[in-house]
Structure 1
């Protein structure tokens, strides 16, 4: 039986299709990525803003009270990053909005509590919208614009008509930044998903390929059944009718499998004219009944091509690979018995047992 592992190296296209921010965050230490990428990005945002404030606050000519206030704001942002490491975050939680919201609050407090120094930190506001665009839908950023405008106003020493015009322009720009990044990130995720799906799909039959089968097979549970199918005398179809006709047979059989199986079942093209079925919570008797119904339907499509099958149930102490091997042995016996029939492998509970099969009605 050929090796199941053929995943191969990732292509340049698949690497480029991964969202850029994901690739960047993959270089962040694992403990900082606790909670997911959105949480990790939020930690980076508040930590970076806090460090900028800490490094520069002594250069702004602040008095003692102002220094204490600015230091407290920076400390609050660092504390947010630290506390976020202790919390349990659900997937795609809106709670990650706390990171840009607290950043804007800290900047507003600095603006209101200092005289002229807050303007040095105006450049931190767009970073909040960069974060929103990378990790949230564009509409979320629109709701954050008022808070950003308040923070900007608080950081200005004098608010006049020109400042009002700048305020309106900046609000549009910030929202635009978030929108562009959100659309770009969504496009990259879509391309990545499509490439990942294509890399795990057999192009001819639209079923799973061996790369995908490997992961699915590793996840089977006791009580599931593995079926190995093989189209009988398929080489004769290619030799007599040509490879185009052979491809049509494979495509038609793959389509029938996809239509016939239950929603929870899984089918993959194993190689050539062989197919593997994974049937969750299904015993050998049920699998046999399913194959008989499949044979009846296939006979209505093709009368000149039959198929044989080997069936093996996964037991508590049976490795998934052993179940597939047992199904392979049962398939060989079905072929040797004359083809167009099915065989059920004996229970394969450990190395001391053989893979001898049991005949279950053709």
Structure 2
């Protein structure tokens, strides 16, 4: 298969900075869409992959799975998009299409494993996939999303990971106007959860460990803020919530939050991968049919639904735009939570 060389930014090893490099992209096949990348969001997963925090990172690693841009070429069999359209690519670029999950539009749970936008197996040209920290990308049309033209394109980018990661559980647990939802953690995921819950017309509360997030949360649309380190405040919301979206990306106590669920309530983990310490106490769960569940990103149909919903309700991320050359500094700032609330790379800087 023919390939073309494109400019990118990536890391050659887990302890190396990201630097300018060239990578190969395949030429467009019948069902492919080629996108000139205009903006790419910066996700914690990018950092974890580059630094091999989860193991299994392949180098050179070119991250980025919050991709938005313009279609510059389409294959002869493409019907979904045309040249000039605004398009997006999220965390997946392929799946088996035939398993029970894929048949239900749940490609994120593909039973053979979905192909990640980066660090996945490249079925076309061999090696591994490269993400959005690059000039352009070639993706099967099924995994390309249409972007509502009324939204700020740069601020749409984080919807393709942070947005869908919080939207999917809101839809699965059928959040509506009468729902009472809480969000744990106010970062890239948490701020999107608040906006989407408000868009759905539900009541939303932020759980925060410190009062310094209160003003921001209320400005983003939260109806209330509960300081989780304050026992009296925690007691005041006992048995209140139908759904809790837990966005915290590290080990933390889940048990205190379970007691704030109502009968049949669910706490869904979307931010943390690994063992829970201390372990779950089952008594509050058994005594109220409460659940602790997990969820990861969302299917392509669901992601398109989320983008269309955001277009109708004018919902985008709160972002700080950076140049590609500032990515290493941005990673260090991200580790300190020094971003409100998502970095987005202006890919025009890659040409510099």
Relative to the length of structure 2, the TM-score reads 0.23
Q: Which has the larger radius of gyration?
A: 1
Relative to the length of structure 1, the TM-score reads 0.22
Higher relative strand content: 2
Higher relative helix content: 1
Which of the pair has the greater relative contact order for Cα pairs under 8 Å at 6+ separation? 2
